[in-house]
Structure 1
Amino acid sequence: MAQTFLAIIDCGNFREAAERLGVTQSTVSARIKSLEEQLGKPLFVRNKSGATMTAAGQNFRDYAQSFVQLWEKARHKVASTTSYQDYFRIGVRPSLWHPLTMNWLKDVREQFPAVAFHLHFGIAGDMIRKMKEGVLDLAVLLTAPSLPEIKVERLFKEDFLLVGRPGDPVPDPQQPEEFAARYIDIEWGEEFRASRDHYYPFLALAGLTFSVASYGLQYLQENGGYGYFPQSMIRAELDRGALSVVEAAPVISQQVYLAYVNAKGSNILPELIDRFRLQAKEL
């Protein structure tokens, strides 16, 4: 029923959702009616233009996505027994993909060829929720979750540098409006934001924000501007002179965390965690 609910959201109406799912429209209606009865709230308002979510539907959407993902995880884990020894879903902040997670993935695939992996990229809040719901087995984050069912450990400290294109005018904190207009904000998390706002309070309301760092970096390189990026992410660009560091700007250090659910019952998950620790030591 959760898949039917999400199909209606994507299609915008019951008829197209039924076509996508390969069932009749009456079947889709019956599934939603049953779901609404179980939840005790209407999920959609049907009108000539299609189907619009109610407030209850909007609240249920994230849970429906998690239900589907958890089912997919269970299905892959059971199915993997014929081809693989085990199956794990790993959550990663995009900025922590290279080199940490990419090197880790290369390592564990060589060490555990009989294990299947699914990499999920997202923001901290989304991944923490997915871990709590059992969708993700572990995650690499810039924010430490505070939940009893999730264990957290520090991997290493990352230095964030303010960078721009070589030859572009250096931002002047004494001209906050001009500085803010050229600043490219990335959603690094609340801990980073608090540190940055301590030095540059006028950047709290950025005119341009990216949730995915690689896109923000691409925009900066093509159009100019300045932004904070982790040193490990931009090391190659700095080495070949494609980016330059704003020397007068403060370096903002932030902890990188490894979060995971209880490894009880898994012989491989503790090994995967140890491999992250080893990769972190090499950075």
Structure 2
Amino acid sequence: MDMDQVRTFLEVVEAGSFIRAAESLHVTQSTVSARIKELELRLGQPLFVRRKSGVTLTIAGKRFQPHAATMLHVLQQARQDIALPADMRAVLNVGGQYSLWDRILLQWVGGFRARRPDVAVRAEVGTPESLMRHLADGLLDFVVMYAPEARPGFRIEKLMDETLMMVASRADHPGPGAVDYVFVDWGPDFDAWHSDQFPQYNGAGLHVSLGALGFRHILAYGGAGYFPARVVAAEIAARRLFPVGQAPQFLRPAHVIFPEDGLSESTVAALASLREAAGADASTH
């Protein structure tokens, strides 16, 4: 079976439309349509119900989905086994959200590789949705992220807290409500907390989904917003940014998620070193 067709099928399922799947796969919509049509002909069943609003799985499509995920996983594992250098005993597949690679995972990888040079590490940066999907499909050994989704067969363990504080480009900034306030989407928990803390807030002039973008914006053009305390510390010390009055702080916990059973020796060792790294990080922030 053509694995490009299988991969395209899974991307359409995730995206909910041929157009968004094409954008994600960096191919044309006609290519996506042709791959799905060929797959449906090969299987002898329609896999999707096409509507103007998008696509949904047919009964046959729902039955095929777990098999497609398994095929992709087997291919991935085969590639890893073939590509494994002769002096390596195992491959560790780790996923994390962008800000957590910057916060702890890059430093952890360096320390772990120094301790275990016989274990190759493959790192993945992704969205919460894609990371959880790849973990469930067996493509990742563990994931580090904020606000994980509880799933049967997986354990969620808290690693650390990230402190978010409001800072501004000038000392007298009024905070939310100002035209240059930047709202960073730190997740649904932060969104709910922000609404409770600032009930008069009616929206920001700039709304961003990535903290680094908002941070660069206020450094370049001015404004205020919530950012990790560790990120803004140097700018506050240099008096390029200022804490906003008595603005409350938000604790954003980070977690590691991994299967409850069947962990390899290298995964157990990696999790132990990650917990150690998180403890060391907490003592310095």
TM-score (norm 2): 0.74
2:194 is paired with a residue whose SS is helix
Q: Find the counterpart in structure 2 of residue 149 from structure 1.
A: 153
CA distance in 1 between partners of 2:256 and 2:191 (Å): 20
2:265 is paired with a residue whose SS is coil
Contact 1:149 1:261 in 2 (8 A): yes
Structure 2 vs 1, CA of residues 54 and 143 (structure 1 numbering), >3 Å: closer, same or farther? closer
Q: Find the counterpart in structure 1 of residue 56 from structure 2.
A: 56
Identity among equivalent pairs (%): 19
Contact 1:85 1:114 in 2 (8 A): yes
Q: Find the counterpart in structure 2 of residue 87 from structure 1.
A: 91
1:268 is paired with a residue whose SS is helix
Please state how far the C-alpha of 1:187 moved relative to its aligned partner: 2.6
CA distance in 2 between partners of 1:183 and 1:64 (Å): 47
Aligned match for 2:140, one of 108, 118, 136: 136
Contact 2:3 2:72 in 1 (8 A): no
- The runs of 5 or more residues in structure 1 that have no matched partner are 18-24, 46-51
Please state how far the C-alpha of 1:186 moved relative to its aligned partner: 2.3
Matched, 1:170 2:173: yes
Contact 1:36 1:42 in 2 (8 A): no
Contact 1:2 1:64 in 2 (8 A): no
Contact 2:100 2:144 in 1 (8 A): yes
| Cα RMSD for the two superposed structures | 3.5
1:222 is paired with a residue whose SS is helix
Query: What amino acid sits opposite 1:189 in the alignment?
Result: G
Structure 2 vs 1, CA of residues 266 and 33 (structure 1 numbering), >3 Å: closer, same or farther? same
Structure 2 vs 1, CA of residues 65 and 41 (structure 1 numbering), >3 Å: closer, same or farther? closer
Contact 1:124 1:189 in 2 (8 A): no
2:44 is paired with a residue whose SS is helix
Query: What amino acid sits opposite 2:81 in the alignment?
Result: V
Matched, 1:32 2:36: no
Q: Find the counterpart in structure 1 of residue 277 from structure 2.
A: 279
Please state how far the C-alpha of 1:278 moved relative to its aligned partner: 0.9
Q: Find the counterpart in structure 2 of residue 186 from structure 1.
A: 184
In the TM superposition, what whole-angstrom CA distance separates every residue of 1:177-236 from its partner, at most 9, and x where no partner exists?
x3xx32222232222222222102344754533222222222221122222112233334
In the TM superposition, what whole-angstrom CA distance separates every residue of 1:28-50 from its partner, at most 9, and x where no partner exists?
5873343673454367x9xxxxx
Matched, 1:126 2:120: no
Contact 1:98 1:233 in 2 (8 A): no
Q: Find the counterpart in structure 2 of residue 22 from structure 1.
A: none
Contact 1:144 1:257 in 2 (8 A): yes
Matched, 1:101 2:108: no
Aligned match for 2:245, one of 232, 244, 247: 247
Aligned match for 2:27, one of 11, 26, 44: 11
Structure 2 vs 1, CA of residues 29 and 261 (structure 1 numbering), >3 Å: closer, same or farther? closer
Please state how far the C-alpha of 1:144 moved relative to its aligned partner: 3.5
Structure 2 vs 1, CA of residues 131 and 29 (structure 1 numbering), >3 Å: closer, same or farther? closer
Structure 2 vs 1, CA of residues 239 and 77 (structure 1 numbering), >3 Å: closer, same or farther? farther
Contact 2:158 2:255 in 1 (8 A): yes
In the TM superposition, what whole-angstrom CA distance separates every residue of 1:156-189 from its partner, at most 9, and x where no partner exists?
2221111122x3641245xx3x3xx322222322
Structure 2 vs 1, CA of residues 70 and 184 (structure 1 numbering), >3 Å: closer, same or farther? farther
Count, aligned residues: 259
Contact 2:142 2:258 in 1 (8 A): yes
Query: What amino acid sits opposite 1:135 in the alignment?
Result: L
Moved more, 201-210 or 264-273: 201-210
In the TM superposition, what whole-angstrom CA distance separates every residue of 1:89-113 from its partner, at most 9, and x where no partner exists?
2221222222311211111121122
Query: What amino acid sits opposite 1:3 in the alignment?
Result: D
Query: What amino acid sits opposite 1:162 in the alignment?
Result: M
Q: Find the counterpart in structure 2 of residue 201 from structure 1.
A: 199
Q: Find the counterpart in structure 2 of residue 116 from structure 1.
A: 120
Q: Find the counterpart in structure 1 of residue 15 from structure 2.
A: none
